[in-house]
Amino acid sequence: MEAEASDELRARVQPVVEAFGDAVGGLPAGCWAAPGRINIIGEHTDYNDGYVLPIALRRGVLAAAAKRADRAVLASSLQKGGMPLTIDEDQLHPKRVTGWAAYPAGIVWALRRAGHDVGGVSLVLDGDIAIGGGLSSSAALECAVALACADLFSLALSRQDLAQVACGAENEFVGVPVGIMDPSASLLCQRGHALFLDTRTLESEQIPFDLDSAGLSLLVIDTRAAHRLADGAYANRREACEEAARILNVPALRDVQLTDLDAALEQIADPTIRRRVRHVVTENARVLEVVDLLGRGLIDAIGPLLTASHESLRDDYEVSSRELDAAVDAALSAGALGARMTGAGFGGCAIALIATSAVAHVTAVTESAFERLRLTRPRIFAASAAPGARRVIE
């Protein structure tokens, strides 16, 4: 695996290595980094066997790790005060470990369940990504640990295999019914590219996503309204889609083409389920259109599709929020080419595609809109397509 040791990363790694000495003793066997993600387009499509198009962020989770002589998982998080938690082998059962430690423990559980020879592991974790903020902090944590375990125990697993391990851990061990997008983004994304992933076949393609040469920036507007996937709204959307697929007698909503949408909607009596289907089918079509435009070097033309995605998520899928709508409306009013919520919704982050020369203006307009609406001041930063998970020190 490529080892990366830029000065910036070294500076981030140093405190984690020191904390490893305090919590575990000695030096870690290595340090692994896994990024969070933002999704350019393709929202709530991954559990419908559809298409997604995420990029990796520079921010994410670092894991310093070493094998242990026993079969326990020791985990310490610098965001949680650094106090080490030990999870013995007999506690490694689905839904028994609660809180953040369920994510690293779940990875070890999922690897062992799949028959891999994974012993005990000590982990010290450090993240620079808001927890529960919609940038996939949980997938970053899982993927840093999964990659560490794969290297430490010399597992013959591909990146896509590891993404499936992470997804299985989150679904079954932690108990949150997320799809495959986030761990795939964290593990498979490459610098300067968006990951076009078919979540049915798991085939993926790296699509050049070069904002700089088009004079564009992608602003992330973190509304700081925490989203909670475990509270039922996400699972409820997923169930509605499964119900619709049953009514339409297709394996998944991915199998409904845009040209067949009207006929499909006529077969569904429930107006809420009809709206959910309309979102998923139109969203899949929008992903393909965006991929086509990017392939033709027309990154500046994707804006209206991003905004259409937001409208569909707001009106048909009903997963936006007052804060996300405020962010999108403010960015568009300040001249953004397109803007949308990104991730599961119900809070979290929006993205806006803007001319780089407009960064300060769009930021100021968005901040003052939030102030006028008496919303918490958003955190706004520009994102570019960063590399996926990797080992950062040997």
Q: Which residues are known to be catalytic?
A: 182
Q: DSSP label at 45?
A: -
Helix (H, G, I), strand (E, B) or coil at 21: helix
Candidates 20, 32, 47, 317; binder of ligand GLA (CB under 6 A) is 47
List the 216-222 sheet strands across, edge first: 338-342, 349-355, 216-222, 379-383
> 240 φ, ψ to 5°?
-60, -40
Q: DSSP label at 255?
A: G
Q: What is the nearest approach in angstroms of ligand GLA to the Cβ of residue 348? A: 9
The residue among 89 and 172 lying less far from ligand GLA, judged by its C-beta, is: 172
The residue among 178 and 389 lying less far from ligand GLA, judged by its C-beta, is: 178
Q: What is the nearest approach in angstroms of ligand GLA to the Cβ of residue 71? A: 29
The residue among 13 and 43 lying less far from ligand GLA, judged by its C-beta, is: 43
Q: Which residues within the stretch 208-267 sit at the binding site for ligand GLA (CB under 6 A)?
A: none
The residue among 87 and 389 lying less far from ligand GLA, judged by its C-beta, is: 389
Candidates 130, 344, 365, 380; binder of ligand GLA (CB under 6 A) is 344
Q: What is the nearest approach in angstroms of ligand GLA to the Cβ of residue 310? A: 13
Matching residue, tokens 């000590």: 122
Q: What is the nearest approach in angstroms of ligand GLA to the Cβ of residue 57? A: 13
Q: Residue 100 contacts by C-beta under 8 Å, 6 or more apart in sequence?
A: 77, 80, 131, 141
Binding status of residue 43 toward ligand GLA by CB under 6 A: yes
Binding status of residue 343 toward ligand GLA by CB under 6 A: yes
Helix (H, G, I), strand (E, B) or coil at 302: coil
Q: What is the nearest approach in angstroms of ligand GLA to the Cβ of residue 286? A: 13
Q: Which residues within the stretch 109-148 sit at the binding site for ligand GLA (CB under 6 A)?
A: none
Pairwise CA distance, residues 345 & 203, whole Å? 26
Candidates 181, 195, 277, 291; binder of ligand GLA (CB under 6 A) is 181
Asked whether the beta carbons of 366 and 327 are under 8 A apart, the reply is yes
| Interface map 143-162 toward ligand GLA (x if CB under 6 A) | --------------------
Candidates 38, 46, 50, 366; binder of ligand GLA (CB under 6 A) is 46
Asked whether the beta carbons of 148 and 16 are under 8 A apart, the reply is no
Binding status of residue 316 toward ligand GLA by CB under 6 A: no
Pairwise CA distance, residues 283 & 181, whole Å? 15
Q: Which stretch binds ligand GLA (CB under 6 A): 42-50, 120-128, 287-295, 360-368?
A: 42-50
Q: Which stretch binds ligand GLA (CB under 6 A): 9-17, 43-51, 102-110, 157-165?
A: 43-51
Q: Minimal CA–CA distance to 139: which of 109, 162, 108, 172?
A: 162
The residue among 49 and 182 lying less far from ligand GLA, judged by its C-beta, is: 182
Q: Which stretch binds ligand GLA (CB under 6 A): 14-22, 175-183, 287-295, 353-361?
A: 175-183
Q: Which stretch binds ligand GLA (CB under 6 A): 88-96, 176-184, 205-213, 321-329?
A: 176-184
Asked whether the beta carbons of 369 and 376 are under 8 A apart, the reply is no
Asked whether the beta carbons of 193 and 208 are under 8 A apart, the reply is yes
Q: What is the nearest approach in angstroms of ligand GLA to the Cβ of residue 385? A: 18
Pairwise CA distance, residues 179 & 168, whole Å? 9
Q: Residue 255 contacts by C-beta under 8 Å, 6 or more apart in sequence?
A: 49, 245
SS (H, E, C) 129-195: CCCCCCCCHHHHHHHHHHHHHHHHCCCCCCHHHHHHHHHHHHHHHHCCCCCCHHHHHHHHCCCCEEE
Q: How many residues bind ligand GLA (CB under 6 A)?
A: 10
Q: Which stretch binds ligand GLA (CB under 6 A): 3-11, 177-185, 189-197, 378-386?
A: 177-185
Residue ranges binding ligand GLA (CB under 6 A): 43-44, 46-47, 178-179, 181-182, 343-344
